[in-house]
Amino acid sequence: MGLQSDPPGTHSEPTCEELTKLFMNGQLATEMAHRFNLNNPDALRKIQVCCAGLHNNGTLDLLQLIESSAMQRLAGSDFFMAMHFFCDILPELEATPERMMTCIEALVTRGGEDLAANQPNGAFRSWCQKDPNRARKVILAAHNGDELASRHVAFALEAIADIAEARKMAITYNDARRLAAITALGRIHDLDPASCAETLAAFSTLLAGGADDKLRANMLRSITEILTRNPVFASPDAVALVHRLVENGGDFTIHECSHMLWASRQTLSPDIVTGLLKKLIHLNPANKGTVNELDIGLQSLLEHGHEEAAISFVTELLALPDGSLELQEFDSFIRTLLDGPPERLGRIVVQWLLLGIPHLCKGLAEILQSDDMVGPPIHLSADQLDISPTAQLFLCRKAIGWFFLKPTTATSILVSVLRVCDAETAKEVQALLVEHLLLNYHGVREHLEALPSDDLAKSRVDQALEQHNIHFNAVRAIPPIKELQPSEHYRRIQQLHWSDQMRDAYNQPKNQSVLMSIVKRSVLLYGNSCRTFVKDSMTNMPRPVDIELHQLGVSFAVPRMEIIDPAGLQWILFNYKHEKLTS
């Protein structure tokens, strides 16, 4: 055949005889993984048709590829490539349901935790749809207590959309078949509200009969799917059922709550949102899957008119005294928050800083990023700062405490307060500005000088700048005191220490980088551009690729107090971070 040595895409698809030969030689699974070195979908489709034909006429038995583990033995991505090819053929194959289910289960098991592992289930559903008799046989076997069939009955019910059979099975049994039937009910389309009501009634019956966490979670998932497909079915009964399902659920139910938040985003009423979030407050932070779903759910709430509920929930969740969740775990929520209206972000900043809960403030400090590492400016409105002078000062100290390493952010908050506060408060804010921000960061001065002349805070900021100038000039007038300067020897030690730290800072993330494990690393000794040669997937010939190189660097300002009095600085920041707002 010469398939291995020819460049891909340069030859035609194998004939049926050649496919048979490959099967006989035990090479068919491998060739499937390599897609027969073909790129043309039509050619591949022809092979699939040919394979199905060969199987169905008895020339070869494709299921043996699985039964002999030839498929499962393929390594890594080869297995998934071959499985994907095989699943396209699978609905066309003639086989007994029992044999087919065994093969499907073997493939799913081999797929493991991978997202593509469930692909064979979909193929099985299509296989059942292809011939409803196949589905009925599976359902019958399930009724007869066959365990393999029970595990696959959801696909069979879904394939023939037998909603009545599914309800019956859900009510009748109290084992895997019930869960499978409930799953199927979620997937089968209700034709009218009455059908939906009947399903919900079945769920109510099950709930009344005493439902454990898993059952509740399954029913909640099914309701989610029903309501997602048909938002008009969200009747008061459906909402009430959701509340009842959620009420006494455990971790599985909580997970489904988080799923429902985003899956049914178009249909969620404030009432349901409240109920779901009330339950979600009890989530176990160790269940990272739930946290991820919740993150998407919260993002969805922000985007679909439930922002107050979402923000209040996050506030409450992160404020839990023994909570181990970090704000950064909700990265989708954060991204939406940061990309959303500045007014909303400002409101959150004020709310969280005034609450002073370390988890929230720390989270804020970590998410407020900017390219230049000085933090983004936050403009707080007069409405947002309509708080007592004590609270305004408290807010300023919190901003310094938590955003000290993001001086632009901290400064912008103090300037916002200067715009609206009374004269007495302004003096104290100016002192904070001078003592903590202007003293520590040269960039703050530039930021403040750039304020437009019509800014309401301009005159107060100018006064602060003047205070700073007086001090700055006094300091600048001091000549360097040679006697106090470290010796050459000490400077050398510091340089070595610094280079060690920088090397570690460079190597540590590099060693942990997923990207670095999958890309080739090249070190160029000379030049600012390079030409490299990569094999063309079509011609298999080396092709020159030119790359222009650019410098990539990071710089950051070290606060002056970190050099003058690091222990004192830590003490001040600690106090600012942890002080409580007294009424």
List residues binding another protein (CB under 8 A).
439, 471, 474-475, 478-490, 493-494, 497, 558, 560, 562-568, 570-571, 574
Residues 260, 467: Cα–Cα separation, whole Å: 56
Residues 213, 210: Cα–Cα separation, whole Å: 10
- The distance of closest approach from Cβ of residue 565 to another protein in the complex, given in angstroms and rounded to an integer, is 4
Closest to another protein by CB, 193 vs 486, is 486
- The distance of closest approach from Cβ of residue 437 to another protein in the complex, given in angstroms and rounded to an integer, is 15
Of 344, 425, 355, 426, which Cα lies nearest the Cα of 379?
Answer: 344
Residues 337, 408: Cα–Cα separation, whole Å: 19
- The distance of closest approach from Cβ of residue 174 to another protein in the complex, given in angstroms and rounded to an integer, is 54
- The distance of closest approach from Cβ of residue 563 to another protein in the complex, given in angstroms and rounded to an integer, is 5
Residues 176, 168: Cα–Cα separation, whole Å: 14
* Residue 427 and residue 394 in contact, taking contact as beta carbons nearer than 8 Å: no
* Residue 213 and residue 250 in contact, taking contact as beta carbons nearer than 8 Å: yes
- The distance of closest approach from Cβ of residue 119 to another protein in the complex, given in angstroms and rounded to an integer, is 48
- The distance of closest approach from Cβ of residue 326 to another protein in the complex, given in angstroms and rounded to an integer, is 20
Kindly state the helix (H) or strand (E) to which residue 46 belongs, with its residue range: helix 41-56
- The distance of closest approach from Cβ of residue 358 to another protein in the complex, given in angstroms and rounded to an integer, is 14
Neighbours of 324 (CB within 10 A): 10
Instruction: Tell me the angle at which helices 288-303 and 251-263 cross, rounded to the nearest 10 degrees.
Output: 30
Residues 83, 236: Cα–Cα separation, whole Å: 45
Closest to another protein by CB, 470 vs 547, is 470
Residues 370, 288: Cα–Cα separation, whole Å: 28
Tell me which DSSP letter residue 434 carries: I
Instruction: Concatenate the DSSP letters of all residues of 485-550 into one string.
Output: SPPHHHHHHHHHHHHHHHHHHHHHHHHH-HHHHHS-----SS-SEEEEEEE-TTT-SEEEEEEE--
Closest to another protein by CB, 145 vs 486, is 486
- The distance of closest approach from Cβ of residue 65 to another protein in the complex, given in angstroms and rounded to an integer, is 55
